[in-house]
Structure 1
Amino acid sequence: MNILVIEDNKSVCSMIEMFFAKEGIKGEFINDGIQGYNRFKEESWDALIIDWMLPGMDGVTICRKIREEKHTVPIIMLTAKDSESDQVLGLEMGADDYVTKPFSPLTLMARIKAVTRRFSQNSLQDEREAGTLNSKHFEINKNTREVFLDGEPITNLTPKEFDLLTYFVQHPKQVFTREQLLERVWGYQFYGDERTVDVHIKRLRKKIGTSSESLFHTVWGVGYKFDETTKADEI
C-alpha cells in the first residue's frame, strides 16, 4: 500500500513509519497541512492518515476539500480531541474513521487494513456487478456510485455513507446491531465506536430528507433497520 500521512508530530510519524516498515507499507510523511493537501493531488494513494491540528491547513479542512472534489480515497483522522462533537465533525467532513491520541500502533494498523480492505472489496464488487440496485424509493448504481431517491439524484454522500446506504438497501427489513454494521460496512470488529454508526445514520437521514424518517428505523435496544414499507412512527 501507498499511504500519505499528514502529521506534524515527528514522534508520531516515527512510530507510524516503524510499523509501516514491519507491514511492508510505503508511507510518505508531510508535516504541513497545505503541503500535504498539495502532495495528495500529485499522486494516487491507497489511504490518507490526517492529523486534526496542523500548521497551514487543519485536517478537517483537508478532509472536506478532498470530499468536495469527489475523491473516494479512505481517510483516517488522528485527533487529540476526545469530545464526541469533535469526532462527529471529522466524520461529517468525510473521514471514514478516526483514532484518538494517544493510540496503539496496532489499533491504527487494524483500522488502516479495515478501511482499505473494504474499499478494495467494494471496487472489485463494483467491477463484477453490472447494472443498478433498485428498491421502492432508491436506484443505486454501484459502478458509478450514483444514488437516486424517487428519481432525484443525491450527490453529497461521502463514500462511507454510500456504502452504508447500499448495504441497507441490499438487506431490507433486517435488523443490524451497531457492532454488525461496523464489521460489515467499515470492515472491523467492534472497538467501542458505536457513535460512528449513529453519526452516519444521522447524516443519511439529513441528506436524504425528511422522507428518510420512514426508511431508517431505530430498533431500540438493538440497532437499526431499513424498511420502506412501514412508517417509523408505527413501530
Structure 2
Amino acid sequence: MNPSVATRLLLVEDDPNFGMVLKDYLELHDYDVTLCTDGLQGYHAFQKESFDACILDVMMPVKDGFSLATDIKKENAQMPVIFLTAKAMKADMLEGFKIGADDYITKPFDSEILLCKIKAILQRKQASGTNSGKQTLTEYQIGRYQFNAKTRLIIDGAQTQKLSPKEAELLLLLCQHMNDVLPREVALSKIWGEDNYFTARSMDVFITKLRKYFKGDASVEIVNVHGNGFRLLAPVTQGTI
C-alpha cells in the first residue's frame, strides 16, 4: 500500500499534545490521519469512516485501548492494529497480541521505526488481499519449495514433507511476515497460547525443524533476531488456492 494514495489511519491517543505531534508527523509522510482523544470517540470514528490501520494508546478514558481493539476486531478481524503505549509489562504485551495486534510499541519510541512498521503492516495487508476481499493466502513459494498451509505440505519437486499442525501454523506466520520480523510474542500467543520458558523452548525446537526442511536451498533462511523474534528470508512469489 502506498501512502501517496491517501492511506487512512485512525490514531486514538488521550494526550492531546502528543497526539497532535504524532498526527502532524504522520501527515508529513502523506498519511491521512483521524485523531481521537478517547476510546469511545475512536470507536465512533471507526464505525463512521473507512481506515487502513489503527494506532491505539492503551490507557485511555471512557474506553481503554484493549477494549477498543476488541470491538474493532469484532467488526473487522483483518483490520491492522498497532498499540502505541507506555504499558511495557510483558503481560500487557501478551494481552495486546492475544487481541490480535499486529505490533506493540512502547513509549518512548523512534518515529522512523514506527513509520517502517506501519509500512510493513500495510504491505502485508495488501499482499494478503484483505482490502479487496480476496482469499487469505494458503500457498507460498519459498525459494524452490512450495508450502501449502491447507494440506500442511512442503513440496520440493517429487519430494513432499508433511508438517505437524504446529509446524504448519508457525511456518504460515513466518510466511505472513516474509522478510520481516515475526515477533516471538506473536507466535507464542497465537500458537501456544502463552509465553513462558517451556513454550519458548518448544518454539525453538520447531524453528530448528523448519530450518532442516529448507536446508536444500541456500537462498532460504530462518534467522534469529536477538531479543525480538524470527525472520524468514527467501525470494518468494505468493498465490492462493
1:13 equivalent in structure 2? 19
- Residue 185 (str. 1) matches residue 176 (str. 2): yes
> Aligned AA for 2:207?
G
- Residue 134 (str. 1) matches residue 150 (str. 2): yes
2:110 equivalent in structure 1? 104
The structure with the greater share of residues assigned to helix is 1
Retained in 2: the 8 A contact 1:91–1:97? Answer: yes
Question: If the length of structure 2 is used for normalisation, what is the TM-score?
Answer: 0.62
Question: If the length of structure 1 is used for normalisation, what is the TM-score?
Answer: 0.63
**Unaligned runs of at least 5 residues, structure 2:** 1-6, 140-147, 154-164, 212-241
Distance 1:14 1:188, change over 3 A: farther
- Residue 223 (str. 1) matches residue 219 (str. 2): no
> Aligned AA for 2:184?
V
> Aligned AA for 2:25?
F
**Cα RMSD (Å):** 3.7
- Residue 204 (str. 1) matches residue 191 (str. 2): yes
Cα distance in 2 for residues equivalent to 1:112 and 1:188: 15
1:49 equivalent in structure 2? 55
- Residue 28 (str. 1) matches residue 12 (str. 2): no
Q: Number of matched residues?
A: 179
| CA deviations over 1:71-111 (Å, ceiling 9, x no partner) | 31110001101111111111111111111011121111111
Structure 1 residue 136, shift from structure 2 partner:
5.4
Alignment of 1:148-187 (within 5 A): 165=169, 168=171, 181=174, 185-186=176-177
Distance 1:225 1:117, change over 3 A: farther
Distance 1:129 1:203, change over 3 A: closer
2:45 equivalent in structure 1? 39
Structure 1 residue 116, shift from structure 2 partner:
0.7
Cα distance in 2 for residues equivalent to 1:112 and 1:203: 21
**Unaligned runs of at least 5 residues, structure 1:** 138-149, 151-163, 171-180, 208-212, 228-235
SS at match of 1:3: strand
Tell which deviates more after alignment, 12-21 or 33-42: 12-21
Percent sequence identity over aligned pairs = 26
